[in-house]
Amino acid sequence: GAVVSQHPSWVICKSGTSVKIECRSLDFQATTMFWYRQFPKQSLMLMATSNEGSKATYEQGVEKDKFLINHASLTLSTLTVTSAHPEDSSFYICSASVLAGTGELFFGEGSRLTVL
Amino acid sequence: AQSVAQPEDQVNVAEGNPLTVKCTYSVSGNPYLFWYVQYPNRGLQFLLKYITGDNLVKGSYGFEAEFNKSQTSFHLKKPSALVSDSALYFCAVRGDSNYQLIWGAGTKLIIKP
């Protein structure tokens, strides 16, 4: 199946700094990528839908200025957590869909963010 | 609006026994249904999907799922559980857009030796 690479897997940062997480589709073009946040023992919470070449669509309650999403190419989307605080600590997962598919998503391995 | 329910937070099964992880859905129109598995500190892996055709869908790692339209269910099954099957399992249904999925809360599957 299609491969989605997410980097970094783990990141620890100080409060107030910004962290960038990359999501790449390695062997297919992804017009749409999704960013999720997962709290311990909970399901995935969709944060935003990222479309190549256009602004991301954020879910209700997700701060656009806090979680900056850029989808500059058909194979790369980035999530930047700006001015991170301890409450932003979480597991962030990206997913991508193939250009013409049936809704099947391919997921990155996830990024564990810990803000001190 | 589309929704998915996984009624069990956790399922415990002895190794070698059959397992079932339940999922029910609510959609308008024909459902596109999916099962994903998540191992600790990992992303999700696709197991199987139902779009159309046979109600019994076979997927990865020996898993299968049965689509039941009258009961609006899509339960995940495996004839003989392995300890390595222990993980978090998510059922999902396609949302209003072509690529968005609506997720169940997840079911933790524990296989005991």
For A45-84, how does the pLDDT look when each residue is reduced to its tens digit (9 = 90+)?
889 998 888 889 999 999 999 999 998 888 999 999 999 9
Look at strands B33-38 and A4-7 and give their pairing. Answer: unpaired
Mean pLDDT of B94-98: 64
Alpha-carbon gap: B11 to the closest alpha carbon of chain A (Å): 14
For B1-16, how does the pLDDT look when each residue is reduced to its tens digit (9 = 90+)?
778 999 999 999 999 9
Phi, psi of B62 (to 5 degrees): 85, 5
A106 touches chain B (CB under 8 A): yes
CA distance B1 to B102: 10
Is residue B110 within a helix (H) or strand (E), and if so which, with residue range?
strand B107-112
Q: CA–CA distance from B5 to each of B10, B21, B26, B58 (Å)?
A: 13, 11, 9, 21
* Chain B residue with Cα closest to A1: B46
pLDDT score, position A103: 58
Alpha-carbon gap: A18 to the closest alpha carbon of chain B (Å): 22
